[in-house]
Structure 1
Amino acid sequence: MDDTAGSSGWATPSTVQWCRWLLDSYRHWAGEELIERAGTPEVQAHRLFDAPFVVVSHGIEEDPILNYGNRRALDLWESTWEQLVTTPSRMTAEPVHQDERRRMLETARSCGFFSDYRGVRISLTGRRFRIEGACVWTVMDARAVRVGQAASFSQWTRL
């Protein structure tokens, strides 16, 4: 398995488990699979990491920290795995876009799923980009306890 850009963090047992919850939660809220679910949890985590669309997530801390980003997310946010998973989620949007981002996350938290989101984000190096058609969902553990939020999208434009 590839470790380019310091990205092997996706293969740890805790991240493989997180990927399972992320995928199970997406199926719960969206009524469909995000990726093909064949194979072991490790195979599915690898497939998610290499997916041709962005997947990113954070936990439920007071000021949530990003805890997952697939290869497309790392590329888009111009980040290594180690940098991404220590970044407060709010830092993915410029201050002027924070209120809009907070409202979207609250809607996704209260409804479980929010689709067709669009907004402006910023990479760790300061490059701005607009995302479109994003879906945001609540991540639940095996006991259906809320443990985070995730987003996925395949459309973005550098600004």
Structure 2
Amino acid sequence: MQKNDLPSNENGYLKDYIFLITSSLKNLTNIELVDFSLNLEEQAKQVFNSDYVLLAHNATQEPIFNYANKTALRLFEMSWDEITNMSSKYSAESDERAKREKVLADVTEKGYSKNYSGIRISKTGRRFKIQNAVIWNVYDSENNRVGQAAMFDEFEYF
């Protein structure tokens, strides 16, 4: 998948990609992240402006973030360009990366994981614990895995 621009009215808030993220979550877990009665652009705008954190990375060997909503950008203290040029493994401190990789490998195999907790770090070095995160595979319309996404609304700064 090509690099996305910052979600906005001009690009429909990346509605096609958000549809893959939200429909994959619903299909795997029956969790509805958005109001599916809204049109795709309204759904994508709702996701970008929501209070929960939503992040996604691509399916390359060393995944790069390709989506972060406003809450994620604030939490990680990064701009859109900074986060979408970063390997997602760097969202965790070095001693947390093995645990993170194991969970992501399990998600790749099983489709999703609920109740994940872990330590993350912002660009400025601010550490925080995320709790009860849902992590899932993102599939395209032909059922090819195109990445993974994570959503949580519980975090605590150290």
Using the size of structure 1 for normalisation, the TM-score is 0.91
1:35-114 mapped onto 2 (5 Å cutoff)? 35-114=34-113
CA distance in structure 2 between the partners assigned to 1:35 and 1:16 by the alignment:
12
Q: Cα distance 1:13–1:43, how it changes in 2: closer, same or farther (>3 A)?
A: closer
The Cα of 1:14 is off from its aligned counterpart by 8.5
CA distance in structure 1 between the partners assigned to 2:90 and 2:61 by the alignment:
14
Aligned match of 1:16: 15
Aligned match of 2:138: 139
1:31-67 CA distance string (max 9 Å, x none): 1311212322111110000111100010011110000
Contact 2:107/2:135, CA 8 A, preserved across alignment = yes
Amino acid at match of 2:7: W
Contact 2:12/2:44, CA 8 A, preserved across alignment = no
CA distance in structure 2 between the partners assigned to 1:40 and 1:144 by the alignment:
22
Contact 2:92/2:121, CA 8 A, preserved across alignment = yes
Runs of 4+ in 1 over 4 A off after TM superposition: none
Task: Determine helix, strand or coil for the equivalent of 1:120.
Answer: strand
The Cα of 1:124 is off from its aligned counterpart by 1.5
Aligned match of 1:126: 125
Gaps of 5+ in 2: none
Gaps of 5+ in 1: 1-7
CA distance in structure 2 between the partners assigned to 1:10 and 1:151 by the alignment:
18
Aligned match of 2:147: 148
1:110-157 CA distance string (max 9 Å, x none): 110100000000112211100000000000011111000000001000
Q: Identity of counterpart residues, as a percentage?
A: 31
The Cα of 1:75 is off from its aligned counterpart by 0.6
CA distance in structure 2 between the partners assigned to 1:69 and 1:63 by the alignment:
17
CA distance in structure 1 between the partners assigned to 2:6 and 2:132 by the alignment:
27
Contact 2:115/2:134, CA 8 A, preserved across alignment = yes
CA distance in structure 1 between the partners assigned to 2:60 and 2:12 by the alignment:
21
Task: Determine helix, strand or coil for the equivalent of 2:142.
Answer: coil
CA distance in structure 1 between the partners assigned to 2:72 and 2:147 by the alignment:
17
CA RMSD of aligned residues (A): 1.3
Amino acid at match of 1:21: L
CA distance in structure 2 between the partners assigned to 1:59 and 1:14 by the alignment:
18
Amino acid at match of 2:155: W
Using the size of structure 2 for normalisation, the TM-score is 0.92
CA distance in structure 2 between the partners assigned to 1:14 and 1:62 by the alignment:
27
CA distance in structure 1 between the partners assigned to 2:64 and 2:125 by the alignment:
18
